[in-house]
């Protein structure tokens, strides 16, 4: 029986890419440790940024001690963590296109495997499923740890749930981006069959999808609207405010006249007695997450189906 028979193909793939697995595992461990520390630091920042007194009292700490742990430092670390997690799919796209598929097709090692009792379909499925399992486990763990770490210092954070990196890092969207990046990398590798161009194409396509999703994210779920009479109210920082304006007695909406009524186009706003805000409240987080995740998974499935078709047509 060939060493590359279907039951041995899994171990062959793992052996070929063992360095990437080791690097990924080391990164995951370091990231987990950092996020655990970040939760502790966030909780400490919240405690130290509470009420204080100078001189201290039995119930209140010294304000000099409170200032020893600036909340801005914790907020900066949390923001950095969200950015790193949100950008991980780009690394997946680059590796999948350049190394996982492009390099093997460029060197011809894939065809060697196909001559040893392994069909192209089995080869492709194995090289797709194994990374998908690693991505699912790793990205899910990082996202859960990030949410857990972030929750401890929520009171001192400046970035809200609707910030682009935070939104991606906090839910299943980051996992969907990872799987899409893998599928796009596989398709690019099969089409180009050269490592560097395939990696570059996969990176560019994945990045483009991320930019487009960020641009149209607010439209993925119907927003809410709040109207105030006589005085303008506040929704708080947790609301994702999309539009603010005034409503005239005739019902006309003036979007750009909230803070000034002196410009020529805002003269009608002087008679307005109603203010409105179009926004996504915090409870829209999960609907937005699930809709975007569904779109990304559908794109990943489409890219995978096209990749299988390309494989059958050109490499069968």
Residue 182 and residue 269 in one domain: no
Q: pLDDT digits over 212-242, tens only?
A: 999 999 999 999 998 888 666 677 778 899 9
Q: Looking at 81-95, 182-196, 205-219, 264-278, which range is the least confident one?
A: 264-278
| Per-residue pLDDT, 2 | 46
| Per-residue pLDDT, 1 | 42
Q: State which of 35-49, 118-132, 298-312 shows the largest mean pLDDT.
A: 298-312
Whether a cis peptide bond, with omega within 30° of 0, leads into 205 is no
Residue 145 and residue 258 in one domain: no
Whole domain around residue 270: which residue ranges?
A: 224-283
The mean pLDDT value of the chain amounts to 86
Say how many domains are in the chain.
Answer: 2
Work out the average pLDDT over 72-99: 91
Residue 233 and residue 101 in one domain: no
Residue 116 and residue 254 in one domain: no
Q: pLDDT digits over 156-211, tens only?
A: 666 689 999 999 999 999 999 999 999 999 999 999 999 999 999 999 999 999 99
- What does the block give as tokens for 113? 């495997």
8-state DSSP, 251: S
pTM: 0.88
Residue 231 and residue 295 in one domain: no
Please report which confidence band the pLDDT of residue 58 belongs to, taking 50, 70 and 90 as the band edges: confident
Check: CB of residue 254 under 8 Å from CB of residue 245: yes
Task: Indicate if the alpha-carbon torsion angle 190, 193, 196, 200 is positive or negative.
Answer: negative
Distance CA 18, CA 9 (A): 14
- What does the block give as tokens for 289? 């997450």
Task: Indicate if the alpha-carbon torsion angle 176, 182, 188, 190 is positive or negative.
Answer: negative
Is residue 1 one of the residues assigned to a domain? Answer: no
| Per-residue pLDDT, 114 | 79
Q: State which of 61-65, 98-102, 107-111, 134-138 shows the largest mean pLDDT.
A: 134-138
Q: Is the pLDDT of residue 138 over 70?
A: yes
Residue 185 and residue 268 in one domain: no
Residue 184 and residue 307 in one domain: yes
Q: pLDDT digits over 298-312, tens only?
A: 999 999 999 999 998
Residue 183 and residue 306 in one domain: yes
Q: Is the pLDDT of residue 80 over 90?
A: yes
Q: Which of 177, 176, 186 is nearest to 123 (CA)?
A: 186
Cβ neighbours around 250 below 10 Å, total? 8
């Amino acid at each position: 029986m060939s060493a590359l028979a279907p039951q041995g193909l899994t171990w062959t793939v793992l052996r070929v890419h063992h360095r990437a697995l080791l690097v990924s595992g080391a990164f995951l461990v370091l990231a987990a440790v950092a996020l655990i520390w970040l939760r502790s630091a966030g909780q400490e920042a919240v405690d130290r940024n509470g009420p204080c007194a100078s001189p201290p009292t039995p119930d209140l700490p010294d304000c000099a001690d409170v200032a020893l742990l600036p909340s801005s430092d914790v907020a900066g670390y949390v923001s950095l963590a969200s950015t790193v997690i949100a950008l991980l799919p780009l690394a997946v796209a680059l590796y999948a296109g350049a190394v996982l598929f492009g390099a093997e097709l460029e060197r011809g090692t894939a065809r060697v495997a196909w001559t040893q009792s392994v069909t192209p379909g089995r080869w492709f499925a194995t090289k797709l499923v194994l990374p998908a399992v690693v991505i699912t486990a790793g990205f899910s763990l990082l996202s859960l740890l990030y949410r857990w770490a972030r929750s401890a210092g929520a009171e001192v954070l400046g970035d809200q749930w609707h910030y682009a990196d935070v939104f991606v890092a906090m839910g299943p969207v980051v996992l969907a981006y990872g799987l899409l990046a893998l599928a796009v990398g596989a398709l690019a590798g099969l089409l180009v069959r050269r490592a560097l161009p395939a990696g570059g194409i996969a990176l560019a396509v994945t990045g483009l999808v991320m930019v487009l999703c960020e641009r149209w994210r607010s439209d993925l779920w119907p927003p809410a609207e709040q109207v105030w009479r006589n005085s303008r109210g506040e929704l708080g920082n947790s609301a994702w405010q999309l539009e603010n304006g005034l409503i005239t007695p005739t019902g006309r909406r003036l979007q750009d006249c909230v803070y000034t009524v002196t410009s020529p186009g805002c003269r009608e706003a002087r008679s307005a007695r109603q203010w409105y805000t179009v926004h996504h409240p915090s409870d829209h987080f999960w609907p937005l997450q699930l809709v975007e995740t569904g779109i990304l998974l559908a794109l990943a499935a489409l890219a995978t189906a096209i990749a299988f078709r390309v494989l059958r047509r050109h490499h069968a």
